[in-house]
Amino acid sequence: MQNFSHGMQQALTIWLALLAAAVIAFVVMSFISHRGSGGPSWWTRLRKAIRDPDAAREKLAKAERSAKEIEELRRYCAEVAIADERATAMADRRRNEWEAAQRTQEAAWRAFEESERDVHRLRRANAFRLTEDDPENRRRHLVRIVNAAHDRGEISAADLADALMHRNGWDPKAHPFAQQLMLRKVIRDRKFRAYQEASELERKTAKAADLAMAAKRSLDDEAFDAELRLRKATAVAPEQGAPSFRTATAGS
């Protein structure tokens, strides 16, 4: 029994020596491997994970920063998406205003052309004969035609006052043909001014439509970039599970 006990002790000593040699060899090889790669050894990482509370706190803080950044990106994407929708609506409204201004401009030009043709026809026409060609009849004729034109909306109240007060070229003694020609010229000039105003409005609405479309394109690009940044951030931290801003906006 003594011999057996003595043999077991020797065997245990040999086994422990071999185990210790294997552990030492593993530690040395790991140290050499990590020194060659330039990174910290497994022992250092293990020591930091177990004994260094700062490492654990730093890891937790890094995870919290990542989650906060993702939340900020998600909020920014939603804000950009809302701004993009508003810019799209504004661009559509400005384009509709521009198209309406174009239609008004075209209608004003057609009205001017028609009044210009009336002036040309009167210029080419011969003076018509009157049964009673006296100054009073000519004055009454002037009053009648300018009042009728004002009722139709062809001349303004200021033009009517000029005709009745015999100002700015209106002559109650002129031949009715000359009076009618004068009336058509006033109507033509008024329609040309209306066309000029419509053209100015068309230019302004066209510029506003261009600016609104440029703002929409800029926000489209910004929204696309923001979504890409959010997707990259959530790919690094997939546990956040953040949806794209378009999906989040549609749901809200």
Full pLDDT tens readout for the chain, 252 residues: 566 566 667 777 777 777 777 767 666 666 555 555 555 555 566 555 555 566 566 666 666 667 788 888 888 888 888 888 899 999 999 999 999 999 999 999 999 999 988 888 877 765 555 555 678 888 988 999 999 999 999 999 999 999 999 999 999 988 888 888 899 999 999 999 999 999 999 999 999 999 999 999 998 988 888 888 888 888 765 444 444 434 444 433
pLDDT of residue 230: 83
22, 76, 177, 249 from 200: Cα distances, Å:
92, 39, 35, 39
| Tokens linked to 125 | 């026409």
**Helices in the chain by DSSP H: which ranges?**
2-37, 42-51, 53-124, 135-151, 157-164, 176-236, 245-251
Nearest-angstrom CA–CA distance, 55 and 40: 14
Residue type, 88: T
Residue 20 backbone zone (phi > 0: left; psi -120 to 50: alpha; other: beta)? alpha
Residue type, 50: I
Residues in contact with 122: Cβ distance below 8 Å, sequence separation at least 6, in sequence order: 177, 180, 181, 184
pLDDT of residue 251: 39
| Tokens linked to 177 | 């043909």
CB 86 within 8 A of CB 141: no
pLDDT of residue 245: 39
